[in-house]
Amino acid sequence: MKRNILITGGAGFIGSHVVRLFVGKYPDCRIVNLDRLTYAGNLANLRDVENRPNYTFVKGDICDYDAMRSLFAEYDIDGVIHLAAESHVDRSIRDPFTFAWTNVMGTLTLLQAAREHWNGTWEGRRFHHISTDEVYGALPFDGTLFTEQTRYDPHSPYSASKASSDHFVRAFHDTYGFPAVVTNCSNNYGPYQFPEKLIPLFINNIRHEKPLPVYGRGENIRDWLYVEDHARAIDTIFHRGRDGETYNIGGFNEWRNIDLIRVIIRTVDRLLGRPEGASEKLITYVTDRAGHDLRYAIDSRKLKEELGWEPSLQFEEGIEKTVRWYLANQEWMDDITSGEYERYYQEMYTGR
Ligand code: NAD
Ligand code: DAU
């Protein structure tokens, strides 16, 4: 059992769910959440755990080598779950440098700090790197799935930076015997997701009767997984996965964007007491995302067969929970859709 676990990016969407799970499930472990609090980091995501005795928040940058070395020493970190990253594909198209810096150099910095602190004693230590299915590129509409053997073929600056970070993690394992594991997950959805991503953006826009910007013809396919199922998978692999291995995580739950958008519209309209389909008129087809990957779909059989994990939530239930959460937490949404995000949104979707 690891005693002092560092979770990077714990104030973000997925990270906050991982922090919540670990703080509650492992009261005898110290959970250190290291986050720079970029536009995507939000301590309001963790209000319910912030006063727990086994939880510590540290504001810091994974690219700051001296700070990371001090952090490992101060808390005698023996396990790392590394989620901190720039995570939004559209932003990476506009600003690739930030993605290379944070995702590649930040990961390398953290690896070096861990290697130095652990100093060749790998027993009882683990570095779990959280990555994405986007590193595998795009699939045709033919039913094939990404497996752990699929060749890396990233297309966006985001996925190229994540692919590079994955390679550094494996290089540390292969070169130094460093105790690392990599997981590649499909699209997550659920509470606390920053509303630049499809599902929270569209729920909020439907509520406010704003246009729903569908890229291209809305035919691209994504494989959606409820975020708490991802957090459970991370817990399983962090504790029981094998060093040097990769595990794919996914929901076997493919949706064409336009079909998913119609489910969201129906759900929001119903919960707001609007006539069925009232918000269909908000669908607005816009210029496609540059280099938009056609289809992602994960084969997560290895994880199921080796470690017994599988998704717990049916998609219909997950979407219902998610929409209800955003509608009930309008204040959370309002706090982050003002200020800097408002400027980003205006530029992104209205060109002004
Ligand atoms: P997010 O953007 O919601 O959160 C990222 C967090 O990292 C934020 O709290 C931010 O403040 C922090 N951060 C950014 N730069 C930092 C730095 N230099 N130092 C310290 N903290 C920094 O992202 P997310 O959607 O929760 O994704 C988390 C991880 O999971 C990422 O590595 C992402 O690539 C991966 N992932 C995401 C999905 C998904 O669907 N969202 C799917 C698969 C994998
Ligand atoms: O597959 C895992 C990845 O999923 C993660 O690694 C990324 O961090 C995460 O952001 C997500 O990437 P996507 O690009 O798939 O997610 P996004 O929510 O941005 O878009 C989902 C789909 O919806 C995609 O095909 C683009 C489309 N889209 C998105 C937005 C924001 C639209 O049509 N309109 C939009 O306004």
Domain ranges for the chain, please list them: 4-189+224-249, 198-221+254-291+315-341
352 confidence band (pLDDT: 50, 70, 90) = low
Provide the pLDDT for residue 340. 66
Nearest protein CA to atom 19 of ligand 1, as residue = 61
Region 327-336: mean pLDDT is: 94
Q: What is the mean pLDDT of the chain?
A: 96
For the chain, what is the radius of gyration of the CA atoms? 20
Region 151-164: mean pLDDT is: 98
From 171, 89, 183, select the one nearest 131 (Cα to Cα).
Answer: 183
**Whether residue 2 has pLDDT greater than 80:** no
Distances (CA, A) of 219 to 134, 185, 215, 254: 17, 21, 9, 12
Nearest protein CA to atom 29 of ligand 1, as residue = 83
CATH topology of domain 198-221+254-291+315-341: UDP-galactose 4-epimerase; domain 1 (3.90.25)
Lowest-confidence region among 1-5, 90-94, 109-113, 235-239: 1-5
Binding site membership of 84 for ligand 1 (Cβ less than 6 Å): yes
Question: Percent helix, strand and coil across the chain, each rounded to 5?
Answer: 45, 15, 35
DSSP 3-state assignment of 344?
helix
From 296, 46, 245, select the one nearest 236 (Cα to Cα).
Answer: 245
337 confidence band (pLDDT: 50, 70, 90) = confident
**Whether residue 346 has pLDDT greater than 90:** no
Binding site membership of 164 for ligand 1 (Cβ less than 6 Å): no
Distance from chain centroid for Cα 332: 19
Region 141-165: mean pLDDT is: 98
From 230, 245, 110, select the one nearest 165 (Cα to Cα).
Answer: 110
Mutate which of 14, 90, 230 for ligand 1? The one with the most ligand atoms within 8 Å of its CB, which is 14
The pTM for the full model equals 0.97
CB 10 within 8 A of CB 19: yes
Binding site membership of 132 for ligand 2 (Cβ less than 6 Å): yes
CATH topology of domain 4-189+224-249: Rossmann fold (3.40.50)
Nearest protein CA to atom 14 of ligand 2, as residue = 89
* pLDDT per position as a tens digit, 275-327: 999 999 999 999 999 999 999 999 999 999 999 999 999 999 999 999 999 99
Binding site membership of 322 for ligand 1 (Cβ less than 6 Å): no
**Whether residue 28 has pLDDT greater than 60:** yes
* pLDDT per position as a tens digit, 171-217: 999 999 999 999 999 999 999 999 999 999 999 999 999 999 999 99
Residues 6+ apart with CB under 8 A from 104: 161, 164, 165, 168
DSSP 3-state assignment of 98?
helix
What interhelical angle do 315-328 and 257-271 show, nearest 10?
A: 50
From 177, 317, 308, 310, select the one nearest 250 (Cα to Cα).
Answer: 310
Which residues are designated catalytic?
Answer: 133-134, 158
Laid out side by side, the sheet with 187-189 consists of 187-189, 221-226, 254-256
Binding site membership of 78 for ligand 2 (Cβ less than 6 Å): no
Task: Please give the single-letter amino acid code of residue 51.
Answer: N
**Whether residue 347 has pLDDT greater than 80:** no
**Proximal ligand: closest to the CA of 222:** 2
Which atom, in ligand 1's list, is nearest to the CA of 86? 14
Mutate which of 7, 32, 86, 87 for ligand 1? The one with the most ligand atoms within 8 Å of its CB, which is 87
350 confidence band (pLDDT: 50, 70, 90) = low
Mutate which of 129, 146, 222, 285 for ligand 2? The one with the most ligand atoms within 8 Å of its CB, which is 222
Share of the chain above pLDDT 70, in %: 97
Binding site membership of 194 for ligand 1 (Cβ less than 6 Å): yes
Binding site membership of 131 for ligand 2 (Cβ less than 6 Å): no
Which atom, in ligand 1's list, is nearest to the CA of 63? 18
Lowest-confidence region among 15-19, 195-199, 255-259, 341-345: 341-345
Provide the pLDDT for residue 126. 98
Residues 6+ apart with CB under 8 A from 186: 133, 222, 223, 224, 225, 249, 250, 251, 296, 297, 298
Provide the pLDDT for residue 338. 78
Binding site membership of 87 for ligand 1 (Cβ less than 6 Å): yes
Task: Please give the single-letter amino acid code of residue 178.
Answer: F
From 216, 283, 213, 222, select the one nearest 250 (Cα to Cα).
Answer: 222
**Whether residue 66 has pLDDT greater than 90:** yes
Provide the pLDDT for residue 351. 64
The backbone torsions φ and ψ at residue 181, rounded to the nearest 5 degrees and listed phi first, read -135, 145
Which atom, in ligand 2's list, is nearest to the CA of 196? 31
In the block, tokens 């994990």 appear at 309
DSSP 3-state assignment of 147?
coil
Provide the pLDDT for residue 10. 98
**Whether residue 151 has pLDDT greater than 90:** yes
**Whether residue 144 has pLDDT greater than 90:** yes
Nearest protein CA to atom 3 of ligand 2, as residue = 187
* pLDDT per position as a tens digit, 80-130: 999 999 999 999 999 999 999 999 999 999 999 999 999 999 999 999 999
Share of the chain above pLDDT 90, in %: 94
